[in-house]
């Protein structure tokens, strides 16, 4: 049985799945080599990149060096960074930033000089911002405008990419589901780039937009691509915790500019957990908040900026200030209630330095990819940089892909999980969240495995998203259960120490029942 047949067929040279920083940067590189179709499942303006507040890091300041940026990234990665990938990132960062400026990105300045800020775990002021806290949005605006000016780049919104088309072991296109027509669309291409962003919606609490359902990781796994380090999820320490509000991210830059973390008694508690206090690595701050809340029984911690000069928060972080104000929190006079929330995936579809996955003709860049840059824990403001640098590298590599012969295609019947999204997200949050342990991971993984249902007669976008979220939750729980140690964003209360035996990358491939480490 097949669904949604007959189907619409589109032919192009290159497909870019995702319209954030990585996808747009790749599309710009591909424009001169053929027709490029950039597709998104929602508005072209809806991506994780749009919500990136913190900034973009590069060793451009007078007192900074590429080697220092490299060292900070390696330290944050907690022993699991790929040194060659990190070196590539930091060496290509200055030129990448200068190119963005040339294309019109308006980074913040003091007079004619670029304004550099410092964020957690950085040893120098090297983080550039745009409009205070709208860095991702400004970079996306620049790249989208530049891509639109190039002949051969087209944009299209579909509801969801559901799977890849494989022929002779190569990825030769994507299947998409068009919500407007409720039909299947086949897009054939000589190379496909995954730039689908993150997976935060798998968790009950997340700073990610609703589109972040792990589609790229799930589709890649089902096609047979190697998934690496998927257990390493970064939980941002400070998401706004107001009952009527979404888990809006309160940027690490706030703490970089002097914000304190306090408990309900008004005590600055971070000094009990780490010598860097509020500027400790994100995973440490997140765990510290959760441990503090468990010890005190409080519902939230509090981010305090009331001691800073009047008008500073409003001028330096206008978007954050206005958003919090709309939910009744004036950051200049009131401490903001905060709790951790899922924020960024360090792992994903394994790639080389040019974005090539383990499947021929399939590339990945940005958060969906696992280049090895972030290791077990991403250094603040390296994510936008990774999207720009490795999006460009993937685009250049894809240009070498030759044309294809006739593609034969029959859409397959997908299997959907028999679980509600609410239950799935609660399971992921409770067992695969900030603090994990073996028995809960094992029980959750078995429960998720038991929740397959079969075909649906009339699936919609929500069904395909739930299918992908379910697959990603299975992968995270499987890898987290196998990694019997604590490292970076992965913390096991039953294995609280790092183990040399696990200073390796986790690898999961469809059809193999166990997690390999290499």
Active site annotation includes 124: no
User: Of 106-110, 365-369, 448-452, where does mean pLDDT reach its minimum?
Assistant: 448-452
Residue 128 three-state SS? strand
The per-residue pLDDT for 3 is 46
Q: What percent of the chain has pLDDT over 70?
A: 96
Pick the CATH number of 409-507 from 1.10.3720.10, 3.40.47.10, 3.40.50.2300, 1.20.58.100: 1.20.58.100
- Please list, in sequence order, all residues whose beta carbon lies within 8 angstroms of the beta carbon of residue 511, skipping any fewer than 6 positions away: 224
**What would be the CATH architecture of the domain defined by 241-340?**
Alpha-Beta Complex (3.90)
* Res. 142: pLDDT tops 90: yes
Region(s) of the chain under CATH 1.20.58.100: 409-507
Mean pLDDT of 423-442: 97
| Higher per-residue pLDDT: 164 or 284 | 164
Residue 94 three-state SS? helix
Judge contact between 79 and 483, C-beta under 8 A: no
Q: Quick one: tokens of 310?
A: 């009047």
- Mean of the per-residue pLDDT values for the chain? 92
The per-residue pLDDT for 45 is 58
- CA dist 365 and 88 (Å) reads 14
Three-class HEC string of 301-359: EEEECCCCCCCHHHHHCHHHHHHHHHCCCCCCCCCEEEEEEEEEECCEEECCCCCECCC
Judge contact between 197 and 359, C-beta under 8 A: no
> pLDDT band for position 251 (50/70/90)?
confident
Tally Cβ neighbours within 10 Å of residue 62. 8
The per-residue pLDDT for 1 is 28
The per-residue pLDDT for 7 is 84
Mean pLDDT of 133-147: 92
Q: What's 78's DSSP letter?
A: T
Phi-psi region of 264 (alpha: psi -120 to 50; beta: other; left: phi over 0): alpha
Identify any residues that bridge with 386 across adjacent strands, giving them in sequence order.
Answer: none
The β-bridge relationship of strands 362-364 and 191-194 is: parallel
Q: How many CA atoms lie within 13 A of 69 on its CB side?
A: 29
- Please list, in sequence order, all residues whose beta carbon lies within 8 angstroms of the beta carbon of residue 357, skipping any fewer than 6 positions away: 194, 220, 225, 226, 349, 350, 351, 363, 364
DSSP letter for each residue of 154-220: EEEE-SEEEEEEEETTEEEEEEEEETTTTEEEEEE-SEEEE-----GGGSSSBSS-TT-S-HHHHHH
- Residue 10's nearest CA partner among 154, 149, 147 is 154
- R_g (Cα) of the chain, nearest Å: 22
Judge contact between 336 and 302, C-beta under 8 A: yes
Burial of 169 (0-12, 13-18, 19+ CB in 10 A): exposed
Region(s) of the chain under CATH 3.90.700.10: 241-340
DSSP letter for each residue of 406-473: -----PPPP-EESS-HHHHHHHHHHHHSSSB-HHHHHHHHHHHHT-EEE--SS--HHHHHHHHHHHHH
Identify any residues that bridge with 454 across adjacent strands, giving them in sequence order.
Answer: 416
Judge contact between 388 and 100, C-beta under 8 A: yes
- Residue 376's nearest CA partner among 220, 517, 503 is 503
Residue 116 three-state SS? strand
Helices 438-449 and 461-482, interaxial angle, to 10°?
140
> pLDDT band for position 121 (50/70/90)?
confident
* Res. 373: pLDDT tops 70: yes
Residue 80 three-state SS? coil
pTM for the whole structure: 0.92
> pLDDT band for position 117 (50/70/90)?
confident
| Higher per-residue pLDDT: 224 or 41 | 224
The per-residue pLDDT for 2 is 41
Taking only the tens place, the pLDDT of each residue in 11-51 is 999 999 999 999 999 999 999 999 999 999 876 655 555 55
Mean pLDDT of 299-324: 94
Mean pLDDT of 110-128: 89
Taking only the tens place, the pLDDT of each residue in 64-110 is 999 999 999 999 999 999 999 999 999 999 999 999 999 999 999 99
Distances in Å between the Cα of 298 and the Cα atoms of 246, 291, 340, 429 are 20, 11, 14, 19
The per-residue pLDDT for 54 is 65
The per-residue pLDDT for 460 is 87
> pLDDT band for position 4 (50/70/90)?
very low
Q: How many CA atoms lie within 13 A of 309 on its CB side?
A: 5
- Please list, in sequence order, all residues whose beta carbon lies within 8 angstroms of the beta carbon of residue 66, skipping any fewer than 6 positions away: 59, 90, 91, 93, 94
Q: Which of 282, 339, 378, 436 is labelled catalytic?
A: 282
Mean pLDDT of 453-466: 83
Taking only the tens place, the pLDDT of each residue in 486-506 is 999 999 999 999 999 999 999
Distances in Å between the Cα of 24 and the Cα atoms of 31, 206, 377, 509 are 11, 24, 25, 28
Judge contact between 81 and 371, C-beta under 8 A: no
* Res. 208: pLDDT tops 50: yes
The β-bridge relationship of strands 369-370 and 362-364 is: unpaired
- Residue 78's nearest CA partner among 510, 483, 493 is 483
The per-residue pLDDT for 435 is 96
* Res. 352: pLDDT tops 60: yes
Judge contact between 122 and 382, C-beta under 8 A: no
């Amino acid at each position: 049985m097949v669904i949604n047949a007959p189907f619409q067929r589109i032919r192009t040279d290159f497909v870019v799945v995702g319209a954030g920083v990585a996808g747009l940067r790749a599309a710009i590189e591909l424009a001169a080599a053929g027709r490029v179709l950039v597709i998104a499942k929602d508005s072209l303006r809806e991506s994780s990149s749009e919500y990136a507040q913190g900034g973009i890091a590069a060793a451009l300041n007078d007192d900074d060096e590429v080697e220092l940026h490299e060292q900070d990234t390696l330290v944050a990665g907690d022993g699991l960074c790929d040194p060659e990938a990190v070196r590539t990132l930091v060496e290509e960062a200055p030129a990448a930033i200068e190119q963005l400026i040339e294309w019109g990105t308006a980074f913040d300045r003091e007079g004619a000089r670029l304004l550099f800020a410092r964020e957690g775990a950085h040893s120098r002021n090297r983080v550039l911002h745009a409009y205070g806290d709208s860095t991702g949005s400004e970079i996306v605006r620049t790249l989208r405008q530049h891509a639109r000016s190039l002949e051969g780049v087209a944009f299209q919104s579909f509801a969801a990419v559901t799977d890849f088309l494989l022929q002779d072991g190569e990825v030769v296109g994507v299947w998409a589901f068009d919500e407007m027509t409720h039909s299947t669309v086949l897009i054939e291409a000589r190379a496909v780039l995954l730039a689908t962003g993150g997976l935060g919606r798998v968790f009950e609490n997340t700073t990610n937009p609703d589109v972040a359902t792990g589609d790229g990781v799930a589709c890649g796994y089902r096609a047979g691509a190697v998934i690496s380090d998927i257990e390493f999820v970064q939980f941002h320490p400070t998401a706004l915790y107001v009952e009527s509000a979404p888990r809006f991210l309160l940027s690490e830059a706030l703490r970089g500019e002097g914000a304190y973390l306090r408990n309900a008694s008004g005590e600055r508690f971070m000094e009990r957990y780490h010598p860097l206090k509020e500027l400790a690595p994100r995973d440490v701050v997140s765990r510290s908040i959760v441990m503090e809340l468990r010890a005190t029984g409080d519902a939230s911690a509090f981010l305090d900026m009331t001691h800073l000069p009047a008008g500073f928060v409003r001028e330096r972080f206008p978007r954050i200030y206005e958003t919090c104000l709309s939910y009744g929190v004036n950051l200049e006079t009131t401490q903001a209630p905060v709790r951790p929330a899922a924020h960024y995936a360090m792992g994903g579809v394994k790639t080389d330095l040019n974005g090539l996955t383990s499947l021929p003709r399939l590339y990945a860049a940005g958060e969906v990819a696992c280049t090895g840059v972030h290791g077990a824990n991403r250094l603040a403001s390296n994510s936008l940089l990774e999207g720009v640098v490795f999006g460009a590298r993937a685009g250049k590599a894809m240009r070498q892909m030759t044309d294809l012969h006739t593609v034969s295609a029959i859409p397959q019947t997908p299997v959907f999980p028999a679980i509600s999204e609410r239950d799935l997200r609660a399971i992921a949050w409770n067992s695969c969240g900030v603090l994990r342990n073996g028995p809960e991971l094992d029980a959750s993984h078995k429960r998720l495995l038991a929740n397959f249902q079969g075909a649906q007669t009339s699936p919609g976008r929500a069904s395909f998203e739930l299918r992908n979220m379910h697959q990603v939750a299975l992968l995270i729980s499987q890898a987290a259960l196998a990694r019997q140690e604590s490292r970076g964003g992965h913390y096991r209360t039953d294995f609280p120490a790092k183990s040399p035996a696990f200073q390796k990358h986790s690898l999961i491939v469809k059809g193999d029942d166990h997690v390999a480490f290499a």
